[in-house]
Amino acid sequence: MFAVVVAAAALGWGAAPASAHNNVVGSSPAADAVVTEQPGLFSVTTSDLLLNLDGSGSGTAMVVTGPASAPLFYGDGCATVSGATIETAAQLGAAGEYTVIWQTVSTDGHSISDEFTFDWKPATGQSLADGAATAPTCGTETDAATAEATADAGASAASDSPLSTGAWIGGAIGAILLAVAVALFVLRRKRRR
- Which positions lie near Cu ion, rule CB under 5 A? 21, 106, 108, 110
Closer Cβ to Cu ion, 85 or 106, answer by number: 106
Distant-in-sequence, close-in-space partners of 157: CB < 8 Å, separation ≥ 6: 133, 150, 151
**Judged by CB, which is closer to Cu ion: 50, or 133?**
50
Contact 121, 33 (CB under 8 A): no
CB closer to Cu ion out of 133 and 183: 183
Tell me how far, at minimum, the Cβ of 30 lies from Cu ion, in Å: 25
Q: Residue 44 CB, nearest distance to Cu ion (Å)?
A: 16
Which residues contact residue 177 at a Cβ distance below 8 angstroms, ignoring those fewer than 6 apart?
Answer: 111
Please state the closest distance from residue 180 (CB atom) to Cu ion, in A: 12
Characterize 128-161 residue by residue with b for buried, 16 or more Cβ atoms within 10 angstroms of its Cβ, and e for exposed: ebebbbbbbbbeeeebbeebbebbeeeeeeeeee
Closest distance to Cu ion from the beta carbon of 55 (Å): 22
Residue whose CB is less far from Cu ion, 23 or 164: 23
Q: What is the DSSP letter of 109?
A: S
